[in-house]
Structure 1
Amino acid sequence: MPLSMAAVLSEPAARRPHHPALVFEGREISYAHLWHRARQYAAVLAGHGIRPGDRVALLLANTPHFPMAYFGALAAGAVVVPVHALLKAGEIEYVLRDSGARLLVCSGSFLGEGGRAAEAAGVAVLSVSADEEPEAARLDVLAEQAVPVDHYVPREPADTAVVLYTSGTTGRPKGAMLTHLNLTMNIGVTLLAPFGFGPDDVLLCPLPLFHTFGQICGMGVCFRAGATMVLMPSFDAAVAVELMARRPGMVLMCVPTMYIALLDAAEHRSGPGRPRLDRAYSGGSALPVRILEEVQEVFGCPVYEGYGLTETSPVVAYNQPGLPRRPGTVGWPVWGVDVAIAAADTEGRIVCLPAGEVGEIVVRGHNVMAGYLGRPEATAEVVVDGWLRTGDLGVLDEDGCLSLVDRKKDMVVRGGYNVYPREVEEVLSRHPAVAEVAVVGVPHPTHGEEVCAVVRAAPGAARDPAGAADLGARIVDWSRQRLGAYKYPRRVEFVDSFPLGPSGKVLKRELVARLAG
């Protein structure tokens, strides 16, 4: 039975053609127009030799060209390969070669890196929003004269729709193959709960569309509901807060680092009206309870925190409307998805643990990827006994509510004791001088590893060398009173900003490298 992710856009275009699908820099784009343009893009891609099953890479900024090219490629029956917009030429070349992409659709502003990568990989390039004399043919210009395809190419549920590359925290990035069934099921399920989207909802989306949170939870769910997405070209906290004030009652999806910036922008805002939201969703990494509480107070809305992975299309579990919200947890598995806790040190098989015990989170259900592209051995390492091993540590309570403990690889072992950075971060985030904190392990000659808190100080905290040392000592003393003797940080380092990955996660491996340098 045929099934295509392209229906996520085609069906609302048929149901409510004149309703705004996108608002971009004040300009509204209707569903009918967006789908018409996507079908024109599909015609151009087919004219350039793209056939069903071919892979089309997208190196695109957050503009309407992204959904046009994304759904255009899907309508042509192609497999979409989104590329992280901040990669350099060598990294882009790797993704193009590894994915076997036949063509790269590239924003004009990214042609410097993308064009070199495509040339090295022997991949054709079509640009959008390029300068007057672009180095590549203009897809957007060609599409204006193209006769749109009548309908999208039917695909099978098990066919790959999108290949999303993991962030590559260990080794080179791997391409997770997500099928049409994976994505349409995850979108359809989460549309109802946790996101509860209706056709009159308006989503404020500052997330990058090349990443799974913005692409699937944001764009996919919003379009499936026939709702409206206010797309930001990039995240700007002050601009986002103004949009909230001008259009109260929107829905927001963000990662924790964005929520921290939004709170700071709201505090320093002086314009008319109050920035108010209907509801807010957090994902990508752990949201400190203090931040969750402040967001609820400042923006007057409930905040729902959840959990997912690239390999799970992406949503696994969420705090959900209709169920009691439990700050500090990621809620309950979404419909059709099973979550269990397995012994983290048992290889080659899944040994499930009882409620209340900490272990590795394992997942099975409609959301689990088809595998890593071209890597059967890597797939076999993570898909065991029908379960996906996530590499994350967690615990399920008696009610089936899931709490994240930490990444298995982020755990600090101090003197033989396991220290979970998230637990320490949760405590330190309540210190009045701490605006943001990341806890890592650094080498220690006696204990093996020492707990180190990397802190971005709150405005007004002492930041000169003597003052920073004194503040660090006070943070150590403060945490000693609130954490076990093996848990509290003996070392505190200060930074002005954190290195962030594409999803807004703090790159702890980079912090460790800096501290060890």
Structure 2
Amino acid sequence: MNLADRLHTAAARLGGRAVLTLDEAVLTYGALDELSARLAGLLRSRGIGAGDRVAMMLPNVPEFGVVYYGVLRAGAVVVPLDPLLKRREIAAYLGDCGARLLVAWHAFAETAEAGSAGTKADCFFVVPGEFRRLLREVAAEPGIARTAPDDTAVIHYTSGTTGRPKGVELTHANLGGNAETVARMHALGVDDVVLGALPLYHTFGQTCSLNATVRAGARLTLLRRFEAGRALEVIRRDGVTVFQGVPTMFIALLDHPGASDMSMLRVCTCGGAALPLDVLRAYETRLGCEIIEGYGLSETSPVTATNRGGRHRRPGSIGWPIRGVEMKVVDELGRRTPPGEIGEIVVRGPNVMKGYWNDPEATAEALRDGWFHTGDLGRVDEDGYFFLVDRRRDVIIRGGYTVYPREVEEVLYEHPAVRQAAVFGVPHPELGEEIEAAVALRAPVSGEDLRQFVRERVAAYKYPRRLSFVDELPMSHTGKILKRALAQRV
């Protein structure tokens, strides 16, 4: 039960077919299998083996797959890091996981070397062309390390938006099972071309794009970084059939002047954050494609629940749990809430993490009573469809009244001038918190007009008294709006 087995099996069947492409660069299944075996041999020659941690700082390039499967093939643990991390952050992650090696893209060599200084990690830099020449001189590891299903395959570090980043331990069974489920649900096959717009260092891109593609024998065409015009060009040039993204990607594509008929996309899936309903409807009416919303977290490998296509889709919901996974909404005492009542979403199943690396207290807090407590607030309807309401930490308490930012954001997105919106709470001496909205526009509108628009559609205590206009909302590298950064500006 090693994730690298999936690649080896696919290579035996599809050796000459492309698996990873980036413009003119093409890596076939056979080449990826061979190069990852040579990378495993290189690790062995450096004394790296079962259980050792190998960090990697690579963008969306074919070499990512070589290193990723090579580390797993050697029985070591992959620690994927954002290539744009700064020196201090790199040092903290490498020190926390005790990495033996940091494999970094050549463009980030200076920062990677500075970050690894003083840690136990050596540095190895990936330079296109030279990387393959180097591996050809290394003997391929003849076999694939035997690993148990519950052996750790990957340690993903959380974004740290709620405090110190934690290392999420995902096993070979977690990731392999989740990728297989994704491939089966979307009927991925050898004729599919998946757009690799999601960062591969993140669990969403890693499971749903990379591992699911390999599991299905499909092709992943990569984007180094997401830009709407470039994405449209690649979709049309490469005949993309599957597009997986986060809301900010779908919004950017919708706003691009070159966006037109996109009915060639067989599957569009959205996760990472709630997708505004107006955006979902616009894709159907203007672009001719259906978006399927799902839900997950790094701690759940990541997919936990999703809509299904056609008549099984309920717009605005996150669908229902995937096969083998249980999900419920509970109150503060852990009791299941009745349909329609808001509570915390909890999950259990084969996709739930092993725990947080070297953090038994955080693990015990998150995995209580046999369930993973997500910290997300939601509700379930009479038909079993789940709805994500908000993150518990984002809820605003204004003068004793509870305000869910997503509800207000949905109203703002209904205004034709609004391109992006984020609602958050700021301290207030009498009310405890006041409601503020930060908005990026696609057309001119006054703050008073926007406030009035919202005021006409929600209860009096919910509309944003404070409103600011920005050119762009601050985003994480995975496309999530950073509300904490907005609140700190106030």
Please classify the TM superposition score into its range, dividing by the shorter chain length.
over 0.9
Match of 1:365 among 334, 346, 349: 349
Matched, 1:461 2:436: no
Matched, 1:307 2:307: no
Letter in 1 for 2:277: V
**1:127 positional shift:** 0.8
Distance 1:185 1:143 in 2: 30
Residue in 2 that maps onto 1:135? none
Residue in 1 that maps onto 2:388? 404
**1:276 positional shift:** 3.9
Match of 1:167 among 159, 169, 183: 159
**1:274 positional shift:** 6.5
Residue in 1 that maps onto 2:141? 149
2:83 is paired with a residue whose SS is coil
**1:300 positional shift:** 2.2
Residue in 1 that maps onto 2:222? 231
**Cα distance, 1:274–1:324 mapped onto 2, change above 3 Å:** closer
Match of 1:256 among 247, 261, 285: 247
CA contact (8 A) 1:20 1:31 kept: yes
Match of 2:407 among 419, 423, 432: 423
Distance 1:276 1:76 in 2: 39
**1:249 positional shift:** 5.1
TM-superposition CA deviations, 1:193-212 (whole Å, max 9, x none): 2x321221110111111011
Residue in 2 that maps onto 1:186? 178
Unmatched runs of 5 consecutive residues or more in structure 2: none
Distance 1:4 1:71 in 2: 10
Distance 1:284 1:293 in 2: 19
Distance 1:411 1:248 in 2: 42
Q: How many residues align?
A: 490
TM-superposition CA deviations, 1:167-221 (whole Å, max 9, x none): 111221100000111111111122212x321221110111111011111111111
Distance 2:43 2:449 in 1: 61
2:39 is paired with a residue whose SS is helix
Matched, 1:441 2:429: no
Letter in 2 for 1:320: R
TM-superposition CA deviations, 1:10-46 (whole Å, max 9, x none): 1111111111101211333210111111111111111
CA contact (8 A) 1:244 1:276 kept: no
Residue in 1 that maps onto 2:168? 176
CA contact (8 A) 2:59 2:224 kept: yes
Letter in 1 for 2:462: K
TM-superposition CA deviations, 1:73-132 (whole Å, max 9, x none): 00001000001111101101110010111111011111111111112213111110179x
Distance 2:264 2:180 in 1: 27
Match of 2:34 among 3, 21, 36: 36
Match of 1:451 among 415, 435, 452: 435
Give 4+ residue runs of structure 1 displaced > 3 Å after superposition. 138-141, 273-276
Unmatched runs of 5 consecutive residues or more in structure 1: 132-137, 463-470
CA contact (8 A) 1:499 1:506 kept: yes
Distance 1:120 1:494 in 2: 43
Match of 1:51 among 49, 53, 63: 49
Letter in 1 for 2:80: P
1:97 is paired with a residue whose SS is helix
Q: TM-score, normalised by structure 2?
A: 0.97
Distance 2:16 2:97 in 1: 37
CA contact (8 A) 2:4 2:144 kept: yes
Distance 2:104 2:240 in 1: 34
**Cα distance, 1:323–1:92 mapped onto 2, change above 3 Å:** farther
Matched, 1:245 2:227: no
1:120 is paired with a residue whose SS is coil
Distance 1:392 1:94 in 2: 27
* Percent of paired sites with the same residue: 46
Matched, 1:486 2:461: yes
**Cα distance, 1:274–1:507 mapped onto 2, change above 3 Å:** closer
Letter in 1 for 2:43: L
Residue in 2 that maps onto 1:17? 15
1:454 is paired with a residue whose SS is strand
Letter in 2 for 1:411: V
Distance 1:189 1:434 in 2: 36
Distance 1:274 1:418 in 2: 40
CA contact (8 A) 1:355 1:395 kept: yes
